[in-house]
Amino acid sequence: MSDSGRLSAPVLLPPALDVSYGADELGRPTVTATVCLGDDYQGPPGCVHGGYLAAMFDNLLGVLPYKMTGRKGSYTGRLTVRYRSLTPLGAELVLTGRVTDARHRLVTTAARCHAGGVLTAEAKALFVRPASGGP
């Protein structure tokens, strides 16, 4: 805590991800990213803060509606993260994401984060594409 009685916090954006794109057996887009996070992203000692994992999932999955339609501007309607185990700092993290359903303006997605083959977190998200003529 700082002298003013306020909690101090780092001013960090989620890290840039090294992303590659693909498609599943139904032709729906998939995405894979790798990243290695240092001490600036620490939450529990030696581990990644869960908020950064959530932000990375949001960034990763947010490109999938665009990849489906070529139209930018989908909005996160819901993001649920389930933390399975602590995510270590300094390890290569592999995040994978896929579209699970797409109906009208709604796109549902799912993702996982692995460190050294261990599942550390998974996410589900709902994205809403703007109505035609919208922003």
Q: What is residue 5's predicted lDDT score, i.e. its pLDDT? A: 62
- Residue 131: per-residue pLDDT: 81
**Cα of 65 vs its chain's centroid, Å:** 14
Q: What span, in angstroms and rounded, lies between the C-alpha atoms of 20 and 80?
A: 23
What is the mean pLDDT of the segment spanning 58-64?
A: 92
Write out pLDDT tens, residues 111-131: 999 999 999 999 999 999 888
pLDDT of amino acid 10 = 58
**For residues 81 and 122, is the Cβ–Cβ distance under 8 A?**
yes
- Mean pLDDT, rounded, for 81-90: 98
One DSSP character per residue, 54-92 reads HHHHHHHHHHHHHHHHS----EEEEEEEEE-S--BTTSE
Q: Has this prediction a pTM greater than 0.75?
A: yes
Query: 18-128 belongs to which homologous superfamily?
Result: Hotdog Thioesterase (3.10.129.10)
